[in-house]
Structure 1
């Protein structure tokens, strides 16, 4: 047992004798190099110069960003058709979006310049950012497409919240619009959530006034001129009490000659999205007038011939 402790003591003596002086020397070298560095005036001037450059870069980034935001706001606020023509809500949304994009770009460039001043290699940083961006792009290319499409829908003001539109197989009222998805509620109440990248064609019923078109089939037994007068009077009575009709109904006349009767067409200019309700009211008034005047509404008749059995 005593022999073991003697051997351990000898090992410690040999280790301390061989490496103890080296530890002291390494510590002294570290202390001396640190002291020399901190006492070097050129080092502090270099640090001060780097700090000043970083501060200048950040200040210039803020100034440039403020200038870009002002230009964006002033440009999009002009609504006389000289630059762009946007509604107030669309203009504010687009201004906010472009401000965010400008801030991200300016601050990204500023961060790269700061890293360059700190001694990092811009080539390595850009390569790393490129590889990361490529990976994200492959993984989220549908999201990127949706966002880009949503941006152009917003910029071109194709539709707004509250508009009645048709896109693809969906028809309804836009209840929510974002850069990635659009929510359309149809007349039965279902809400359809559509990625903006899937929106290729849009028919907007809420932009302009629309025509109510009413085709009425009349019998050949009645005189066309008399029937047209009855239809015109009925539609005029609707115009007098229907505030959604902008102009008096216009009688276009004979539209079609069919097997069971002739078709007479009447149109009326209405407020946006109100044409269907006006059409229903015009048809009701015309049928009431037909019943009052004794005008027959034609219908298809089938004549059945039965062969008699010869015994």
Structure 2
């Protein structure tokens, strides 16, 4: 049973969450290390000033340049990787844990010192808690955002009335809604941060207030972003926000993940600013690490809570869910263990395994979300109405939104899956389908996927300290193999993108050939030719792309492909001698196609094989017999081919009538029947030349044999023949023209009868005389 789209996307969102939760927590830990301490100590300012003066000294600058050049000449091209040993890892781990213990023991004293510095700054400057100013500026931002919301009521009403059936309508509506969300966030930012920047503040107080204001803005921006992508019901003040959903998920899932992901991003922003401010307040590194890990625990709890409280994915209409409650609980436990493992890897400082685990889990989810979102945005929703209601589901025909029964049509619920048949309140059956993916859709989806994968590869290469552009003598075999594998992955992605674009172009061209055209027209012949050649071209290109991809990937891995190509040539020659029949089939098929001997859909006969051509391969053709059997015939066994479906067909039939028949009258009757058949709207499209009598074909033993003929398009002669014979039989009966049939007549004369009687009498007398003699 096929998994529903909402199930797949809910799983994909959870996968992305696994990378988001603790990757943000890691940044909380790593960002303060590069932060700059606020210069509040006059002695520190004097040291900085002396350093700048030394740098400006020409002699010092010349010495620094000479030292740099000598370092470049003595440093090897590549950095020699230190051998990894368990003892070294254990030493590093014990040192890291020791620093954490020291930081945990010193944490109360460090925080007390930071509180004293902050209190001293407050007492000498603003004489109020910075949190009060933060709340005041947040309130100012909310007020500005509410004013924008009130002033844009007409804008929102216009957005809510937009149709979202075609790709153009979707993109316009979603773009306008995105612009509205950006303006709303800008109103909040201007009302909070803009008002704050207009005033003068002490340096440390400015860092605290602006930092937490930025955290609030980031939270609001995250909420607006997830509202835009997931569009939960009622988001942004839109009554029908579900119509603008970029990621097609169920309403409950959209509301759940919008809220949870916003909280996670908001807590990340708050934690990042907090650890940064601890650094600015003079808290030592180990104690900041302890604070970062504690904030990471909150992120861990938020992630686990989001997993365990997520709504169950709803299956499509007419299907049941694949996963029971037990399976869902098992997956929740697996995700919980995964999150805890990531947090532990971060705490113990194993950053390379941490990032590998994050990318391995987040990348598939991001690809799945990209595919679903692009498919949702770049396909037309085609709505067709019928007459028979099939399912008790309401639909808004203007918007293409399916609604539960007894729900107002003006408020949509979720987008219909492809091919769903539903009924609207007026008992009209409605079929909502999506068009096939186009070239732009494939290019965007595959391009984003390639970008994500390449970005992940480059990121992992940076984490693992692998140089993808250069090879040095100091590189180990494992490092070179990894570099080659990453390069091969990029090559395969590019080839995959090109192949999918070519495949979509071919499939679209094949789809255009399904349109009916007049038989025998140039378009019809071209359509049949395309349907015959494009599948073969598609297979050949697939083999070509696979071969090129394998060769380029092996080359990226450091394998010399020239000997492989030469060896493949020798092996190919050997295989050619050993498989001469296969080679003969392929070459024969090429010449059949070049001669245009037959096309897909044509009825052919060759020897004992006959049937409709269904498809080709490189070595055989598949024929469907008119009784249903399928023949798979190698090209080399076809021989002479009789094509019964090209251009037109002449059908001849005979009727035997008595010798006393008026032939001229029969000819007129048959001609009239031919005109009547030609006037029939069902038979006229298949008739090329009407039925007519050619004359007397021969004089048989029992009557005159009349020959008739007509011309039709290939394959339709049997239909016209049956109708013609029925009408001829009825017309001959009505006009007293009797068909001839073989008869046997036994006849004799009167003399013969008398002779036989006399013979009988003579025989009787003879018998009596013989009896008397005895």
TM-score interval, normalised by the smaller of the two chains? 0.5 to 0.7
Corresponding residue number in structure 2 for 1:261: 703
Q: Say yes or no: does 1:142 pair with 2:584.
A: no
After superposition, the C-alpha distances for 1:107-127 in whole angstroms (9 at most, x for unaligned) are 9x99xxxxxxx8x9x8x985x
- What is the CA distance between 1:233 and its match in structure 2? 1.9
After TM superposition, the structure 1 stretch with the greater mean CA deviation from structure 2, 85-94 or 185-194, is 85-94
- What is the CA distance between 1:294 and its match in structure 2? 1.1
From the superposition, tell whether residues 125 and 228 of structure 1 become closer, same or farther in structure 2 (CA, over 3 Å): closer
After superposition, the C-alpha distances for 1:258-307 in whole angstroms (9 at most, x for unaligned) are 22222222222212211122112111110111111111101111234699
Question: Which residue, 286, 290, 294 being the options, matches 2:732?
Answer: 290
From the superposition, tell whether residues 146 and 272 of structure 1 become closer, same or farther in structure 2 (CA, over 3 Å): same
Task: Please show how residues 147-162 of structure 1 align to structure 2 within 5 Å.
Answer: 147-162=586-601
Q: Say yes or no: does 1:300 pair with 2:300.
A: no
Where do 5+ consecutive residues of structure 2 fail to align? 1-521, 553-559, 761-774
Task: Please show how residues 1-311 of structure 1 align to structure 2 within 5 Å.
Answer: 87-93=529-535, 95-96=537-538, 132-241=571-680, 242-243=683-684, 244-304=686-746, 311=760
From the superposition, tell whether residues 303 and 138 of structure 1 become closer, same or farther in structure 2 (CA, over 3 Å): farther
- What is the CA distance between 1:157 and its match in structure 2? 2.5
Determine which structure has the larger strand proportion and give its number: 1
- What is the CA distance between 1:227 and its match in structure 2? 1.7
| Number of corresponding residues | 245
From the superposition, tell whether residues 102 and 286 of structure 1 become closer, same or farther in structure 2 (CA, over 3 Å): same
Determine which structure has the larger helix proportion and give its number: 2
Q: Take 2:631 and 2:540, find their aligned partners in 1: how far apart are those partners?
A: 28
8 Å CA contact 2:624, 2:630 repeated in 1: yes
From the superposition, tell whether residues 133 and 95 of structure 1 become closer, same or farther in structure 2 (CA, over 3 Å): closer
8 Å CA contact 2:531, 2:600 repeated in 1: no
SS of residue paired to 1:248? strand
Corresponding residue number in structure 2 for 1:31: none
From the superposition, tell whether residues 185 and 305 of structure 1 become closer, same or farther in structure 2 (CA, over 3 Å): farther
- What is the CA distance between 1:208 and its match in structure 2? 0.6
SS of residue paired to 1:290? helix
- What is the CA distance between 1:153 and its match in structure 2? 2.3
8 Å CA contact 1:90, 1:157 repeated in 2: no
Corresponding residue number in structure 1 for 2:517: none
- What is the CA distance between 1:200 and its match in structure 2? 1.0
Q: Take 1:224 and 1:169, find their aligned partners in 2: how far apart are those partners?
A: 41
After superposition, the C-alpha distances for 1:136-191 in whole angstroms (9 at most, x for unaligned) are 12331111111222222233322222211111122222223222222222222222
Corresponding residue number in structure 2 for 1:65: none
From the superposition, tell whether residues 192 and 253 of structure 1 become closer, same or farther in structure 2 (CA, over 3 Å): same
Q: Take 1:207 and 1:180, find their aligned partners in 2: how far apart are those partners?
A: 23
TM-score (norm 1): 0.60
User: What is the aligned-residue RMSD (CA, Å)?
Assistant: 4.6
SS of residue paired to 2:732? helix
- What is the CA distance between 1:100 and its match in structure 2? 6.9
From the superposition, tell whether residues 152 and 96 of structure 1 become closer, same or farther in structure 2 (CA, over 3 Å): farther
Corresponding residue number in structure 2 for 1:4: none
Q: Take 1:188 and 1:98, find their aligned partners in 2: how far apart are those partners?
A: 32
SS of residue paired to 1:87? helix
Q: Take 1:200 and 1:275, find their aligned partners in 2: how far apart are those partners?
A: 26
